[in-house]
Structure 1
Amino acid sequence: MSTRKIPGSDPAPLGGPSLSRRQFVQAGSALMAVPFLAGRSVSAEAINTAAPSPAVPAAQIVPTCSTFDCGGKCDIRAHVEQGMVTRISTRPDSALDPQMPIMRACVRGRGYRKFVYHPDRLKYPMKRVGKRGEGKFERISWDEATTMIADNLTRITAQYGPAARFAHTNTAVSGGTFSGDKMLRRLFNLTGGYLEHYHSVSMGNTAAATPYTYGTAASGSTLDTLADTKLVILWGHNPNETVFGHTNHYYQQMKANGTRFVVVDPRYSDTAASLADEWIPLLPTTDNALMDAMMYVIISENLHDRAFIDRYTLGFDEASMPEGVPPNESLVAYLFGLKDGIEKTPQWAEKITRVPAQTILQLARDYATTKPAALIQGWGPQRHNSGERAARGSTLLASITGNVGVRGGWAAGYGGIGNRKFMTGPECPDNPVAAKISIMNWVQAADDATKITPEMGLKGADRLQSNIRILFSLGSNYLANQNPDLLQAVSVLEDESRIEFIVASDLYLTPSARYADLLLPETSFMERWNIGETWGTGNYVILSEKLIEPDFERRSDYEWLREVAAKLGVEPQFSEGRSEKAWIAHIVETTRQAMPDENFPTFEELCVKRQHLFKGAPHIAFEKNINDPANNPFPTPSGKIELFSKRLYEMQHPEIPALSHYVPAHEGPEDALRQRYPLQLITWKGKNRANSTQYPNPWMQEVQEQVLWINPQDAGRRGIRQGDTIRIFNDRGVMAIPAHLTARIMPGVVALQAGAWWQPDEHGVDRGGCPNVLTSARITPLAKGNSHQTLLVEVSKA
């Protein structure tokens, strides 16, 4: 009997030929995978299949990045030995480029190895053998799988038309420049098209609302322009936990240089703990009432920038209103109650927001008198059914204080950055289907397409030609986890008379993947070629090289899509003869040609350099519009900053005021439903996962427990103690998880980390802590976007 030393283990007897480290892990993982095969046996021959040679020579440290749905794109150093990633490190501090700092790996980045080498990862293509949602599958071959896809695409397209085909947005593992969902859309458009969706679940409300003030959503500056700012108000912005790119690098520098930070948030977040000189908690959905009162103070105390307002804005007072609007519709008229008789004083706002009037008064004075100052709004406040108003409200405050177009100011919410540069991406033919729906309406489009009208956000058509009949979910856990009003969505997914065929490609059997008819084992970013691009104010790309060969029968989406394309007769047009790696080389070259002044590297150079920083001058949003308005008018109908939007006024919608001001929200603190459900629930994005990605990673589960944050005052009234299992419920669902009593959440509000996996028990009670068993599918009135954060619940001891 021979023995072989496995690195990191004691010598152990192994029968037969000696095994490499990689083969040993493969064999162990295969044995652990048996429960996923629904009764199918696994032969020793299958377990002992020879492993392919490693993609990277032994003992290399390869700089790379994750292409999962995370905006950080941190510097990951993969230590590759004998075809395996043995550990992950990150860049040393000495490698920091101060002009565009690539962030060091966060706790998620450090934990990717455990996520990639997890025994529960999907291993083989499988088809459903039980009811949808039961999670029962049996193993099939890749040829069977791609034939099923091709046959169902052909049948459903012939029967219902191409508008019956839908690709859901990815919120998990299939990101990057060369993603599976992009190539799926390419295949769709080569074979007749598909029902497209618009809207960003992340920040679509801000993107839709901001143009009504400035004419464009690209209204963010680069953070290096804030170096000398003396006051920053982070309004619902939590970069320390969301790990939002290199944002925190700049904020920590500013903090060290004496910048004063105020955090406005119902929850005392880790960002507040790290940065805040002052924490101002307010009730969710009441942001505009606080903003209104701040503007009242600023104007009543003559702290506004009158010269800026007169030159650059429309709608401040009656003298600056557009034609055709009746009296008392201006900002001043609203704030001083000339129409409704209510002055928007700090005392008025205190009753709504629970922020003390004196705090409002001082915040307004500080913001108006500190020159310049930056009010930076995160994406959380605009994920409410009042979110569009909150997004525009911050633009009004910035405008009346002259903080637009100036170094150190900030014009809007955390939206698009004007000087961002992007890779060209794979080319996609035009979509022959003109109709588009909001991503928030996909459940209704699958249930009853006649419900989707232009008033509900349908674009490009008066009506839909078909319900959604075939659905692809690639690297996404949205369908039955991240989608609001989860139980409603699941009822549609379970009904096979509605969506006739569902394909899910993923790393794990996620709650959403359980509803697939065909389940495909996806590769991780370590097992494929891609390019990672940053979000927010990041402006760099990192090559994500294929480091290891995928184990078992895992395939990248591009590989199996190419096989489907062949069975549909369009493979030459789909692939253009390119492998995955060749596509990356092609994208790099087209990007290089599109940016002749950027000195973008060739593919060969990028393979050595690994990263490219788009360096350039600091960007100040709207600087040209302010410095030379005659030649650079704002792209609004008036050419000015529109405090009052006539376009919104003409809609005559009570929830879309022409001046973004406070309107009580559905399921907000003034809703009569509070008699039954008196607590407002909010969620936050935690540091240990991106949306729901990495939930099954045991290392990440140790970082933060899934508990409900509840203020001791609210807990005491309900007889709840620390650690008690509690029920959180409303008319939509019920969950049971432990309670965490903390003064870090204000009274009247409870908080839950987003992204936990839905785990219903035999009674339908969620034991995983997935907030979307409670959230509402109500869409916002203007953007037709998400309002996940607006909901009322009650809590009781279980």
Structure 2
Amino acid sequence: MKHVEGTILGAAIGRRSFLKGSAAAVIAAGLGSSLCESQPAVADEKKTGASEDIVKPGTCRGGCGAGCQMNVHVRDGKIVKTSRRKQSDPDVTRVCNKGLTHALRVYAEDRLKYPMKRVGERGEGKWEQISWDEAITTISDKWKEVAEKHGPRANGFLCGSGNITPDSQHGKRLCSAMGATLLDAAQDRVFYASFPPIVGSFKGAGGGGRNDLKNAKHIFIWGFNPSEGDSQTFHYFLRAKVEHGAKMIVIDPTFTIAASKADLFVPIHPGTDGALALAMANVLVNEGLAKEDFLKSDTVAPCLVKEADGKYLRLSDIGKATVGAPEDKCVVRAEDGSLGALGEVANPVIRGTFAIEGIEVRTAYDLLLERVSEWTPEKASEICDVPVETIRELAHLVQDGHNSVNIGLGLDHVTNGMATFSSILSMCMIAGQYGHPGNTAKGMFRGEISIGWMPYGLANPKGAPGSQVFYSPALLNCMESKKYGDKDINIKTLYIWDHNLFGTQVGGVRWRKFLEDVELLVVADVVSTSTTNYADIVLPACHYFETETASGDDTRYVFHNAKSAEPLYESKSDFDIFKMLFEKMDLQEYDFKDIDELMNAVFDNLTAKKINLTWDRVKEEGSVLTFEPDDRVMGQEGTYGTPTGRLQFYQESIPLDTDYGQTIDFMKERLPYWEPPMEAWKENPLAEKYPLVFTSERSKYKVHTQYTRVPWLLEFEDEPYVAVNPVDCEARGIADGDYIRMFNDRGTCTLRVRFNNGIRPGMVVIDHGWDLDQFVDGFYCDLLGYNVTPVVANSYYFDTLIEIEKATV
């Protein structure tokens, strides 16, 4: 493990000092805050000594959710610093501490310089430099050999979120053209799978974005810490509180920075959030606080459900429509007993059991209330470790006015995450918290994606064989059977790009076992990581600012990213690497001839044409605002993008994210429920051996394992540590600052401990984003469990039990 020598904030400056002098003041100022604060733009520098700075636009796009554009300052052909770039919306004029360090990332000590092939054992770190021609020929020859012997599906591709742009996603197009297998890392799949069937489209154009927070009376921050994990948004929360008087409620096992700003902090037992939501719903119903008019007009509450099979009673069941026809809608019942289609009966009943033409039915709301009735505040209090009076207070707050309930990704890191989201969203329906100003956020903020920006459909070229998709956590659980549902698992090559598999995925130990059968592992990256170190062939990729592209996520803008400097060493862009592979595989018919043709295809859609959004315009203007923020919120018109056009707390069918041969309990999954996490639960017999719940948190200094070796940031935290409540440490003879060993049956990890009274006893919290060689011994990702659930084969990072002991270092 390396410690950074010297400090830019003190007198001494040791090694790694390249470029520090030119921008030390800027970076020091940026690191003084944990927030991506919106501030006046820094003026473009034209003269800084003998040479003139050229300022070009660049975008940061490593998966944090911000997508910020910044100024890239170039001097004598070298990138010397970054600064804020002024946008028409001052809230998007921003840059964070990480964005200010890109110059160091470009010229990092661990930049990959040229293609290499392994000459020792995997993971041994012995390499031989090779030419690009040898690398591309070796890869393509192996792909052809494997396709001939085992079929094209035996070639695998795996992409992460390290560079979310069309040119990088170009690799998925090659995968489709080859008829290969695409591995989905399945990170936060619960989050993305749960919202569409419950509330409809949850991230898209149409207003009601972050600005809507100012309209909320109460802001719930549930299961995430936006002060660090969503820092480009946190100033909206603070302004809503300070300038508009919103009350902030934080529900989290850990006392975070966001919790320190809260009017009410609820330290919940990890993994019990769904039980809390159901208990809040119980209070709303039993105290007469449920918004029944809203339930009638905006939800499936009045829909009649057949007792026999759990399906909706439809007009075709009573002879009034053809099965499957558009008019074959759900049946509802009026108070006078007459029947009609959903939306066509003015005042339908939402309670009751009936026999209609011999068919026994109940209202969907009655079925929800049956689930909710189990969860008294007293029962939930025992499970959640939240006082009964606090549960009642939360229930009263959530229905009092128009409120914003913000659900974070922390909730989807536990195996009961799907049911947790369903429970919280259903509770919000009972509270009437949709369709009004101040209601917008339930997870992702609405209306923040640029319109006319459509790069992801380009992954499947017309006429190509197409890819089969395996979710990697499910894949790890199917190793013994060698079957992913009815499909064979026989991956013989794997190409990884924009992704540090070992640093970000669950099941590291099992991944190494899986890779024993992989005959060729290729990794393309900008810098060396624990995954590149395990590869057979390593390809050096460009930094963001060494290639031209655009990005259009998260800000309503499409931003131009200019090529600010020539690629260092022998690095190439992902687009150019894949273009060479297209040619070697004789698949040019499916490829774009150059980056301009690809980017023109991104904007070849009706929406882009309507607003005159073109690649040429993006390049000319630098940033294009695709729509202005407005006061619309999702559901304001009373319709939602679900099959019924209503908010659906009841699921007639369960859409599977992936089919790996699992069995679904449909009756259970149709409604919200709570059950303990598979592993990380106190009543699990394994807890006697491993009594601590292992979790991680986002860091202001990293995005996954990006930035983890940037010298400036390492001066603030130069080695991994784990935060533990002193009660748990003292019981084990561990002092603050000691090195400890975390371990379970899967792995071990040695690092320093920090006492933190804001951590609940019985759990530990590690700073997410360190890579393998930064630990004294072992690796924290090797501890992670790889359980999967029937509905979503997600990466469940927090469903892990461990024990700790003092280590000798």
Change (3 A) 1:85 1:655: farther
Q: Is 1:263 aligned with 2:244?
A: no
Checking the alignment, whether the CA contact within 8 Å between 1:484 and 1:776 is kept in structure 2 is yes
Which residue is 1:309 aligned to?
A: 295
Which residue is 1:533 aligned to?
A: 552
Q: Write out per-residue CA displacement over residues 43-67 of structure 1, whole angstroms, 9 at most, x where no aligned residue.
A: xxxxxxxxxxxxxx95212232123
Checking the alignment, whether the CA contact within 8 Å between 1:448 and 1:467 is kept in structure 2 is no
Change (3 A) 1:58 1:404: same
More deviation, 593-602/60-69: 593-602
Unaligned runs of 5+ in 1: 1-7, 9-20, 23-56, 338-343, 454-461, 627-631, 761-765
More deviation, 723-732/593-602: 593-602
- Partners of 2:185 and 2:667 lie apart in 1 by 19
More deviation, 283-292/325-334: 325-334
From 647, 651, 655, the equivalent of 1:645 is: 651
From 107, 116, 120, the equivalent of 2:110 is: 120
Report the number of matched residues: 696
From 736, 744, 747, the equivalent of 2:750 is: 736
Which residue is 2:128 aligned to?
A: 138
Q: Is 1:659 aligned with 2:671?
A: yes
From 440, 458, 469, the equivalent of 2:473 is: 440
Change (3 A) 1:348 1:573: closer
- Partners of 1:500 and 1:635 lie apart in 2 by 44
- Partners of 1:75 and 1:320 lie apart in 2 by 57
TM alignment of 1:496-511, pairs within 5 A: 498-511=517-530
Aligned to 2:653, what secondary structure does the other structure show?
helix
- Partners of 1:362 and 1:319 lie apart in 2 by 30
From 453, 457, 473, the equivalent of 2:496 is: 473
- Partners of 2:468 and 2:56 lie apart in 1 by 44
Q: How far did residue 90 of structure 1 move?
A: 1.6
TM alignment of 1:60-459, pairs within 5 A: 60-91=54-85, 97-98=89-90, 101-172=91-162, 174-179=163-168, 182-190=169-177, 192-198=178-184, 200-201=186-187, 203-218=188-203, 221-243=208-230, 246-257=232-243, 258-273=245-260, 275-315=261-301, 318-319=351-352, 330-337=367-374, 344-368=375-399, 370-410=400-440, 412-414=442-444, 417=447, 420-421=450-451, 423-425=453-455, 427-428=458-459, 429-430=461-462, 431-433=464-466, 435-443=468-476, 447=479, 450-453=482-485
Q: How far did residue 770 of structure 1 move?
A: 4.4
From 772, 783, 788, the equivalent of 1:779 is: 788
2:433 partner amino acid: N
Q: Write out per-residue CA displacement over residues 53-82 of structure 1, whole angstroms, 9 at most, x where no aligned residue.
A: xxxx95212232123333212232221110
Checking the alignment, whether the CA contact within 8 Å between 1:398 and 1:411 is kept in structure 2 is no
1:711 partner amino acid: N
- Partners of 1:618 and 1:228 lie apart in 2 by 12
Checking the alignment, whether the CA contact within 8 Å between 1:398 and 1:410 is kept in structure 2 is no
Q: How far did residue 105 of structure 1 move?
A: 1.1
TM-score, normalising length: structure 2: 0.80
Aligned to 1:110, what secondary structure does the other structure show?
helix
- Partners of 1:240 and 1:71 lie apart in 2 by 13
Q: Write out per-residue CA displacement over residues 177-210 of structure 1, whole angstroms, 9 at most, x where no aligned residue.
A: 321xx222222333x3111345741x32122223
Change (3 A) 1:680 1:279: same
- Partners of 2:566 and 2:739 lie apart in 1 by 44
Checking the alignment, whether the CA contact within 8 Å between 1:423 and 1:587 is kept in structure 2 is no
Q: How far did residue 655 of structure 1 move?
A: 10
TM alignment of 1:377-776, pairs within 5 A: 377-410=407-440, 412-414=442-444, 417=447, 420-421=450-451, 423-425=453-455, 427-428=458-459, 429-430=461-462, 431-433=464-466, 435-443=468-476, 447=479, 450-453=482-485, 462-464=486-488, 466-478=489-501, 480-493=502-515, 495=516, 498-535=517-554, 538-571=555-588, 573-576=590-593, 578=594, 580=595, 582-583=596-597, 586-587=600-601, 590=604, 594-600=607-613, 603=616, 605-618=617-630, 620-626=632-638, 632=639, 635-636=642-643, 638-647=644-653, 653=665, 656-667=668-679, 668-704=681-717, 705-759=719-773, 767=776, 770-776=779-785
- Partners of 2:94 and 2:108 lie apart in 1 by 24
Aligned to 2:773, what secondary structure does the other structure show?
coil
Q: Write out per-residue CA displacement over residues 677-733 of structure 1, whole angstroms, 9 at most, x where no aligned residue.
A: 111111112111111111121222233352111112222222222101111111111
Q: How far did residue 388 of structure 1 move?
A: 0.3
Which residue is 2:312 aligned to?
A: none
Change (3 A) 1:589 1:285: closer
Change (3 A) 1:681 1:325: farther
Checking the alignment, whether the CA contact within 8 Å between 1:177 and 1:423 is kept in structure 2 is no
Aligned to 1:635, what secondary structure does the other structure show?
coil
| Percent of residue pairs bearing the same amino acid type | 26
Checking the alignment, whether the CA contact within 8 Å between 1:485 and 1:776 is kept in structure 2 is yes
Checking the alignment, whether the CA contact within 8 Å between 1:710 and 1:750 is kept in structure 2 is yes
Change (3 A) 1:778 1:415: farther
RMSD: 3.0
- Partners of 1:315 and 1:675 lie apart in 2 by 43
Q: How far did residue 312 of structure 1 move?
A: 3.0
Change (3 A) 1:656 1:528: farther
1:549 partner amino acid: E
2:544 partner amino acid: F
Aligned to 1:595, what secondary structure does the other structure show?
helix
- Partners of 1:247 and 1:659 lie apart in 2 by 32
Q: Write out per-residue CA displacement over residues 95-146 of structure 1, whole angstroms, 9 at most, x where no aligned residue.
A: 5625xx3141111101111111112211111111011121211011111111
Q: Write out per-residue CA displacement over residues 585-634 of structure 1, whole angstroms, 9 at most, x where no aligned residue.
A: 5346536x64233242552x4334211122235364542552xxxxx476
TM-score, normalising length: structure 1: 0.81
Change (3 A) 1:681 1:573: closer
1:209 partner amino acid: S
- Partners of 2:579 and 2:491 lie apart in 1 by 23
- Partners of 2:107 and 2:197 lie apart in 1 by 48
Q: How far did residue 239 of structure 1 move?
A: 2.0
Unaligned runs of 5+ in 2: 1-7, 9-17, 20-50, 303-349, 657-662
Q: How far did residue 488 of structure 1 move?
A: 1.4
Q: How far did residue 476 of structure 1 move?
A: 1.3
Change (3 A) 1:196 1:521: closer
Aligned to 2:94, what secondary structure does the other structure show?
coil
